[in-house]
Structure 1
Amino acid sequence: MLCYPDRRSALRAGAAVAAGALTAACGASGRTDPAPTAPTSAAAPSPAGAPAVAPAPHRFPGQPVEIGHGPRDRPRVALTFHGNGDPATARAILAEAEKGGARVTVLAIGSWLDAHPEMARRILDGGHELGNHTQRHLAVNAMPEAEAYAEITQCAQRLKRLTGSIGSWFRPSQTRYATPLVRTLAQRAGYPHVLSYDVDSLDFTSPGAAAVIRTVTGTIRSGSVVSLHFGYADTVAAMPPLLEELARRKLRAVTTTELLTP
């Protein structure tokens, strides 16, 4: 269920695709799954002062609705971050990723974007990708259908307003795996796939940078999707040695879309 575009392949088409998906998400009664978008050349640079445009969600044929990892036969991994917390810590993590040549995927909480809208552009301008982690980061799997759908679409609205796209991925809040209902609601909102992970760093428990590094490097392998968080000093401190270890193992940290691109 993935069409494997490169990171910037749908920049020009992203806003149009996202607008149709969001219209269906916020008003239409029927289910809308966006059609695959063929890769295109990179878009022209955004005008001065305008936010970068995020890629539109893509369908990756052959992949399940809920994706926990990428192909195991290529030396790539995806470092994914839950977007919340002190923006200074988020910027420090992004800076460390960029120093190490890594591109990451950020699943942002809508209320965080409301408080720090400038972070959407900071993420995209750094070459990273941005996605949806619900509006309030509540236990989405336990919500009634209408409330869960609102959590997804309200965050999508923030992303679209800030970037021109509803974001590349949806990840459910307070859970690794979405229920069948939440997967269906995410697809209705315009996200062909739900993004899970196969490596949990446990950085949100503040175990110390060394423990974060051990946890990740002890289980990561080609194709892994790693769950990390903004807002924790341990994660900032762990980034340089973690990226050094990935380089030693010849594993390249890429966006989730790049991870799934042949």
Structure 2
Amino acid sequence: MLRAAASAAAAGALTSGCDPDRGTGASSSAPGSSAGPSPSGAGRSAPARVPAARPPTRAQGQPVEIEHGPRDGRAVALTFHGRGDPKLANALLGEAERAGAKVTVLVVGDWLDEQPAMARRILDGGHELGNHTMHHRAICALPEAAAYAEISQCADRLHKLTGTIGSWFRPSQTRRATPQVIRLARKVGYPHVLSYDLDSLDANDPGAPAVRRTVLDGVQPGSVVSLHLGHAGTVAALPPILDGLRQRGLRAVTTTELVT
């Protein structure tokens, strides 16, 4: 169960760097504090500040379950199921950053247990983090206590690593949440459940060209697109997807930016 308050050490427990197997050391800086070594000589600029994790987003005027943002804007949100090979995750984040795009990663809690450094890596890139349950079980089919544990345990992992429970909650193995899951997510502290209006179908590994076509054929202003980390085809598809969005006058932003 979430603690009412975390210690300073827990709030600063983000690990620096990304070990392909498992992060092994705690960062000496909490999110939002100065990162890197302290300047030791004249002429050295101050180190960059580490982006802080956002608390749960409250989007005024949006429904409890959000499928898309405003249709009259010029932005879309690319949202990623956070699990899989960290090398592929790093490659995908790098492609987004080279293009000036920001994404939302909904992490699975047991992946964070194995790859705690990925929380810091995502935040350092200017992206945002959310909760995609602890074990990625079919949450809408679970009894109430088990469903609550799936949400709250992942929220606890995020809080210990970043100081907040993350910006969003997305239910696992479903596009739409049941009333029970929505209620439990709100009990944990998430004002909204994040759904999506466009499924890239990349989890089926159809190949990069198919992923690109599915996204660009279906995307609209305000779309929330479901994608996955840990798939080589998704990494390869991301640059042409971002190019296609730019050609349509659309830009990829975090979900929070899209809906607030």
Q: Normalising by the residue count of structure 2, what TM-score does the alignment of the two structures yield?
A: 0.83
1:53 Cα deviation from its structure 2 partner: 2.9
Q: Which runs of 5+ in 2 are unaligned?
A: 5-30, 38-48
- The residue type paired with residue 60 of structure 1 is A
Aligned length: 224
What corresponds to 2:127 in structure 1? Answer: 128
- Classify 1:104/1:253 alpha carbon distance in 2 versus 1 (closer, same or farther; 3 Å): same
- The residue type paired with residue 100 of structure 1 is A
Deviations 1:210-238 (A, max 9, x none): 00011001110100000000010100000
Structure 2 CA distance, aligned partners of 1:53 and 1:192?
A: 20
RMSD: 1.9
What corresponds to 2:209 in structure 1? Answer: 210
- Classify 1:44/1:122 alpha carbon distance in 2 versus 1 (closer, same or farther; 3 Å): closer
Q: 2:2, 2:156 within 8 Å by CA — same for their partners in 1?
A: yes
Structure 1 CA distance, aligned partners of 2:51 and 2:253?
A: 19
Tell me, yes or no, if structure 1 residue 53 matches structure 2 residue 52: yes
- Classify 1:48/1:253 alpha carbon distance in 2 versus 1 (closer, same or farther; 3 Å): same
Identity of aligned residues (%): 65
Q: 1:22, 1:190 within 8 Å by CA — same for their partners in 2?
A: no
Structure 2 CA distance, aligned partners of 1:156 and 1:142?
A: 20
What corresponds to 2:222 in structure 1? Answer: 223
Deviations 1:140-199 (A, max 9, x none): 000000000000000001000100010000000001111000000000000000000000
Q: Normalising by the residue count of structure 1, what TM-score does the alignment of the two structures yield?
A: 0.82
What corresponds to 2:104 in structure 1? Answer: 105
Q: Which runs of 5+ in 1 are unaligned?
A: 1-20, 25-42
Larger radius of gyration: 2
Structure 1 CA distance, aligned partners of 2:36 and 2:148?
A: 35
Deviations 1:26-59 (A, max 9, x none): xxxxxxxxxxxxxxxxx95445489753110122
Structure 1 CA distance, aligned partners of 2:128 and 2:34?
A: 16
Structure 1 CA distance, aligned partners of 2:35 and 2:179?
A: 41
1:22 Cα deviation from its structure 2 partner: 4.1
Q: Secondary structure at the match of 1:81?
A: strand
